[in-house]
Amino acid sequence: MKHVNSIIGRVRRSIFSDPIIPRDESERKRFLRRVLLLHFRPSTVPDKTLRFSLTWGLGGMAVVLVLLQISTGVLLKFVYEPTTIAAYSSIQTLIHDVPFGRLMRNLHHWCAHLLVLIIVLHMLRVFFTGAFHPPRQFNWIIGFMMFGTILAANFTGYLLPWDQLAYWAVTVSTGMLEYWPWIGYLFQGVILDGADIGPATLRFFFAVHTAIVPIILLLLMGFHFWRIRKAGGLVIPRQPEEASISHPSRIPTIPNLILREMVVATTLIAVVMVWSVLVNAPLADPANPGLSPNPTKAPWYFAGLQEMLMHFHPVFAVCIIPLMVGLVFLAIPYLKYESDTGGVWFVSRVGRKTGMMAAVIALLVTPLLILTSEKLMAPGREVSAMPSFFMSGLLPLVLLFVITGVFIWFIRKRYSVSSNESIQAVFILILTAFVVLTMTGIWFRGEGMILKVPW
């Protein structure tokens, strides 16, 4: 800078004490520490963790999507009106009269759904690379809490357009709450406006969606990243036979990691942008509380739960089974493992084999169970409360436990697997079954919720 002693120079130096673009190694190191957005990065990273196939950039993609959601969401907030009278028309104003309003809305809609998919994939990556062993156990819990927060964001946002799709999907989803003993009634008292969803519901959901969720999410994200840093970064990838490396070779974060992150981020934004330009977010007719569409389905991420409702007694489908699965998920980092398999995909060679077996078995058995259940529960059956709890609740649940137990006993006997592989196998069984249930709920349920092929 020529006029270093000018007033411009003095202002610039008061903000940036170092050169804005670092020119060499030491300036780069200082740059990392001084720049707010990058200061949580280490100055070097293990070169093996730069491999894309370690994480597939999923965590980073989630961050990008969250930032996109906040940006588009804030813009939307200037146009959207959270009242039952004006909500729908404010969205039409957004689409037709606001410059790029249609694009902002589409972006917000598609990023919301993509985000749920990405964080599920991220969780699967973390699990299958064993990145939940100490010292990363608590970060798994934080991640779980963020998952819940994102689901809450999706669910509350789903209602806001106040069209037929929104109104009835949320009616059905809050209807499921009724089957939670004691607290279900309490939740409904808060969410519902009297007996149905109404203006108070919209108000409540809007407040949660635009204030509570973003605050909680940002706090959890900061916590999550700090824990990653504390754990020394990502797990170091290795083959099952290799020993874990205690001092891996490292290379500078700038440019190696930052460049890769920028590439993934810009590619993701480009893809999402193109999609949002070409495909519109759905908007059905304005909400009509007197007319339930046929069929009425919950949002796709709740379709698995709704499908379970078709087969199990409601308290089991909506309360007991999700609670049990949730507890198992939370307990995963704290179970007794025989080894720390951080960095190895699917635990071991035999882990890959038994994992594949678990997936195939769940893929075959779940549709079979669904069809059997449909045959047994054909509408027109006698209605009575007592046998239902046993026949459609306890009995099928015990059956599932037995199937799982037999499979685990088999792989233990045949392949002498350790607890790592067994737990992974159970995880895969539950996961695959739920995926099948979700796909059934989305694509194989038609009018009157009868089971039918989608073509």
Partner 1 sequence: MIKKPNPEKGKDSVPPRRKFLNKLWAFLGIVALAEFIWVVLSYFKPIRNQEARGEFGGRIMAGTVGSFLPNSVTAFPRGHFYLACLKDGGFMAIHRKCTHLGCTVPWVEKEQQFICPCHSSAFDIQGDVIRSPANRALDIFSVVIENNVVFVDTGQAFRRNEFRPEQVVYPDKKI
Which residue ranges make up the site for partner 1 (CB under 8 A)?
168, 171-172, 174-176, 190, 192-196, 200-201, 203-204, 289-296, 309-310, 314, 377, 379-381, 383, 385, 388, 448-450
Residue 455 C-beta: closest distance to partner 1, Å: 22
Q: Name the β-bridge partners of 250.
A: 46
Residue 96 C-beta: closest distance to partner 1, Å: 30
Alpha carbon distances (Å) from 221 to 32, 119, 146, 217, 324 = 20, 13, 8, 6, 26
CA atoms within 13 A on the CB side of 148: 13
Nearest residue to 120 via CA among 365, 434, 421: 434
213 close to 158: Cβ distance less than 8 angstroms = no
Of 291 and 323, nearer to partner 1 (C-beta) is 291
Of 294 and 419, nearer to partner 1 (C-beta) is 294
> If DSSP codes are grouped into helix, strand and coil, which group holds residue 20?
coil
CA atoms within 13 A on the CB side of 210: 20
Residue 447 C-beta: closest distance to partner 1, Å: 8
Nearest residue to 127 via CA among 143, 113, 114, 112: 143
Nearest residue to 184 via CA among 289, 298, 320: 320
Q: What is the DSSP string of 23-51?
A: -SHHHHHHHHHHSGGGTTS-SEEEGGGG-
Q: CA-CA distance, 218 to 67, in Å (whole number)?
A: 10
Residue 379 C-beta: closest distance to partner 1, Å: 5
Residue 188 C-beta: closest distance to partner 1, Å: 10
Residue 434 C-beta: closest distance to partner 1, Å: 20
> At 162, phi and psi to the nearest 5?
55, 45
Residue 208 C-beta: closest distance to partner 1, Å: 10
Residue 316 C-beta: closest distance to partner 1, Å: 13
Paired sense of beta strands 250-252 and 44-46, if any: antiparallel
| Residue 442: partners with Cβ closer than 8 Å, 6 or more residues away | 297, 300, 303
Residue 191 C-beta: closest distance to partner 1, Å: 8
Of 148 and 199, nearer to partner 1 (C-beta) is 199
Of 8 and 450, nearer to partner 1 (C-beta) is 450
Of 15 and 190, nearer to partner 1 (C-beta) is 190
**Is residue 51 exposed (0-12), middle (13-18) or buried (19+ Cβ within 10 Å)?**
exposed
Of 282 and 295, nearer to partner 1 (C-beta) is 295
> Rounded to the nearest 5 degrees, what angle is found at the Cα of 347, between the Cα atoms of 346 and 348?
100
Tokens at 41, concatenated = 């990065």
Of 222 and 387, nearer to partner 1 (C-beta) is 387
> At 251, phi and psi to the nearest 5?
-135, 160
Of 153 and 350, nearer to partner 1 (C-beta) is 153
Beta-strand (E) ranges in 1-120? 44-46
Q: Name the β-bridge partners of 252.
A: 44
Residue 66 C-beta: closest distance to partner 1, Å: 25
Residue 421 C-beta: closest distance to partner 1, Å: 39
91 close to 283: Cβ distance less than 8 angstroms = yes
Of 99 and 448, nearer to partner 1 (C-beta) is 448
Of 343 and 393, nearer to partner 1 (C-beta) is 393
> If DSSP codes are grouped into helix, strand and coil, which group holds residue 252?
strand
CA atoms within 13 A on the CB side of 270: 6
Of 5 and 384, nearer to partner 1 (C-beta) is 384
Q: Report the amino acid identity of residue 397.
A: L
Q: CA-CA distance, 315 to 298, in Å (whole number)?
A: 18
Of 448 and 454, nearer to partner 1 (C-beta) is 448
Residue 302 C-beta: closest distance to partner 1, Å: 11
